[in-house]
Amino acid sequence: MEGILQEQNERIRKLEEVVTSQNIEIDELKSELAIAKKENIDREQQIFGLKKIVLKGVIEQSTGKLDDEIHKKQAHLGKDKRLLEGIQPSPIPVHATAFYAYMNQTLTTQDQNRILIFDTVKTNINDGYSPNTGIFRVHFDGVYGFTFSVREDGSSYGSYEIIKNTEAVGSVIGLVEGTSIQQQVIGTVVISASQGDDIFVRTHSSLQHHGAILSNTHGRSMFAGWFISN
């Protein structure tokens, strides 16, 4: 009999422990529920506040009087959005490139395929043109304009090419002969060019040049180019 009583008492003790544990869990659940209710109330208040701001903005925008505070918030939100998306506003680069150079003195040659060097530089924005080689090196991809003028006297004649790397993109010829006759042989091209391309003027690759190319204060032999657009 005593053993039965002890067994029942042990069962009662375990049941009391279970009840105590469940009461603790119930209290914890009640606490979590109270916190969740409070957070839900806070969210509802935030949503209500946002609704008021949006409604105020809609009303003021419809009357043409958008509130300064909303302007500031929109600007701040726009800035945060750009930062999050990794978008940073930056100015569009403008590639100002141009050069102009002329020969300082008369050149006499019968060479074919000779690069003409215009050694006196008056304009060289971005330093693309070399007065030592007569070559313009392209710094930026885009569309460019180039023009050159060669002055010949009555005893001179020849053909001239404007070259991009190894390709002739334009050519002109001067064949007028006669006493006291002079002429300016002019060539102009508009072409697409890529960074690293070389542009220059040369005597024709297959026609022999004859006589002098003049250049003085009465008339210059010149070469010029400029960047037009991307």
In this prediction, residue 74 has a pLDDT band, given cuts at 50, 70 and 90, of low
Q: Tell me the DSSP string of the chain.
A: -HHHHHHHHHHHHHHHHHHHHHHHHHHHHHHHHHHHHHHHHHHHHHHHHHHHHHHHHHHHHHTT---HHHHHHHHHHHHHHHHHTT----PPP----EEEEE-SS-EE---SSPBPP--EEEEEETT-B-TTT--EEP-SSEEEEEEEEEEE-TT-BEEEEEEETTEEEEEEEE----TT--EEEEEEEEEEE-TT-EEEEEE-SSS--BSEEE-BTTB--EEEEEEEE-
In this prediction, residue 54 has a pLDDT band, given cuts at 50, 70 and 90, of low
- pLDDT attached to residue 78: 62
| Domain chopping of the chain, boundaries | 2-84, 98-229
Q: What is the mean pLDDT of residues 78-88?
A: 60
- pLDDT attached to residue 83: 59
Q: What is the mean pLDDT of residues 115-133?
A: 97
Mean pLDDT, all residues of the chain = 82
Q: Which fold has domain 98-229?
A: Jelly Rolls (2.60.120)
The reported pTM is 0.59
197-224 pLDDT per residue, tens: 999 999 999 999 988 999 999 999 999 9
In this prediction, residue 136 has a pLDDT band, given cuts at 50, 70 and 90, of very high
